[in-house]
Amino acid sequence: MNCIFCKIINKEIKSDIIYESEELICIRDINPQAPVHILIIPKKHIEKLYEIEDELLLGKMLKIACEIAKKEGIKETGFRIVINTNKNAGQSVEHVHFHLLGGRLMLWPPG
């Protein structure tokens, strides 16, 4: 399958892996938008957030994001979890992923 995240999961493409389990892989974003920018990616190839049927998987993704926020030292200062879905939101990789961002002041509303 010609999916960049599947290639990362299969170790065909190198990445900075900070957490891995049977179901998830968490890597540093190649183009960081904040001092801490980590992608939480399910290993199963699912393209869109609304296609995930496994509620437990969604919960695990949020839970690991919080654990990583703590490890990265952004839990107390603040962090943002972003899930871009489809064109208007700027989804560029068609394999669902959460962005965990922190380490700087973030604006609201987002651009």
User: Among all residues, which ones are annotated catalytic?
Assistant: 97
Contact flag: residue 93 with ligand DGP (CB under 6 A): yes
92 backbone dihedrals φ, ψ, rounded to 5°:
-110, -20
Helices (H) and strands (E) in the chain, counts: 2, 5
Residue 62 interacts with ligand DGP (CB under 6 A): yes or no: no
Euclidean distance between CA atoms 24 and 21, whole angstroms? 5
What residues contact residue 96 under an 8 Å CB cut-off, 6+ apart? 41, 42, 46, 47, 48, 49, 51, 52, 83
Query: Does 35 help bind ligand DGP (rule: CB under 6 A)?
Result: no
Region near ligand DGP per CB under 6 A, out of 17-25, 40-48, 56-64, 88-96: 88-96
- Residue 2 carries which side chain, given as an amino acid letter? N
Binding range to ligand DGP, per CB under 6 A, among 25-33, 51-59, 62-70, 73-81: 25-33
Of the two residues 21 and 33, which places its CB atom closer to ligand DGP in the complex? 33
Residues at the contact surface with ligand DGP, assessed by CB under 6 A: 4, 13, 15, 27-31, 39, 84, 90-93
